[in-house]
Chains A and B, each alone.
Chain A
Amino acid sequence: QQQVKQSPQSLIVQKGGISIINCAYENTAFDYFPWYQQFPGKGPALLIAIRPDVSEKKEGRFTISFNKSAKQFSLHIMDSQPGDSATYFCAASKNDYKLSFGAGTTVTVRA
């Protein structure tokens, strides 16, 4: 049973558009929420991460929004580019070394 539920499974966006991926969790002990980006043939790599003491974190075109009361967090990719085409995984951890990953979202950015 997955502890982090991710949606949508896939999305297609036009170049310059906004991609939004959502994740939800139940375990209130989670206190670290990273997003990983994976290109074909490569292992995942950390993109951006947030801890629950803030509601939003922005790094370049990538923003995490965090809603503690709703137990939800999302990744927004602004001004999407073809080079952003990848699979994105949300994850959560309760400070025990381990990450619980969502099922992944395949993002395709059309030029």
Chain B
Amino acid sequence: DVKVTQSSRYLVKRTGEKVFLECVQDMDHENMFWYRQDPGLGLRLIYFSYDVKMKEKGDIPEGYSVSREKKERFSLILESASTNQTSMYLCASSFAPLSGGYRTDTQYFGPGTRLTVL
């Protein structure tokens, strides 16, 4: 079974703090993703990485950065947390190697981190 784990289920931070959300997958997947989930808006892609050290912006990258130094680990960084970043953050991974025919494959999600910024 693919397992995607996220470092915290719940997190409370203050405005202006630097926040790190960690995600680890154990299936040697090539691709990893960070989404935020808000009621009525579905899942919106923040950043993704299709190879170690390669990253691309998603639909809502403003205020976020990412780091992927090892294949199994993908970190989301909020440089200076703001109240409008209060949300559920979901990490996902997929196989779909760069050399393959299909680049979009099943995404396996972690349980999410509920972040509250006060």
Q: Does A43 lie within 8 Å of B110, measured CB to CB?
A: yes
B107 within 8 A of A: yes
Q: Does B48 lie within 8 Å of A97, measured CB to CB?
A: yes
Residue of A at shortest CB range from B114? A41
Stretch in A12-20, A59-67, A76-84, A100-108 touching the partner: A100-108
Stretch in B14-22, B73-81, B88-96 touching the partner: B88-96
Interface residues on A, range: 20 to 34
Given contacts A42-B111, A43-B109, contact A99 B42 (CB under 8 A): no
- Bound CA span A14–B57, Å: 42
Q: Does B44 lie within 8 Å of A101, measured CB to CB?
A: yes
B99 within 8 A of A: no
Q: Does B4 lie within 8 Å of A43, measured CB to CB?
A: yes
- Chain B interface residue count, CB cutoff 8 Å, equals 28
User: What total of A-B pairs shows CB separation below 8 Å?
Assistant: 62
B91 to chain A, nearest CB (A): 8
Q: Does B90 lie within 8 Å of A43, measured CB to CB?
A: yes
- Bound CA span A94–B44, Å: 16
B86 to chain A, nearest CB (A): 18
Q: Does B40 lie within 8 Å of A9, measured CB to CB?
A: yes
Given contacts A34-B106, A46-B107, A93-B104, contact A103 B44 (CB under 8 A): no
Given contacts A41-B111, A42-B111, contact A96 B40 (CB under 8 A): no
Q: Does A43 lie within 8 Å of B92, measured CB to CB?
A: yes
Q: Does A44 lie within 8 Å of B109, measured CB to CB?
A: yes
B61 within 8 A of A: no
A44-B109, A97-B94, A103-B41 provided; 6 other pairs, C-beta below 8 A?
Answer: A32-B102, A34-B106, A95-B103, A97-B48, A101-B44, A104-B42
Chain A residues near B (Cβ < 8 Å): 2, 6, 9, 32, 34, 41-46, 49, 89, 93-104
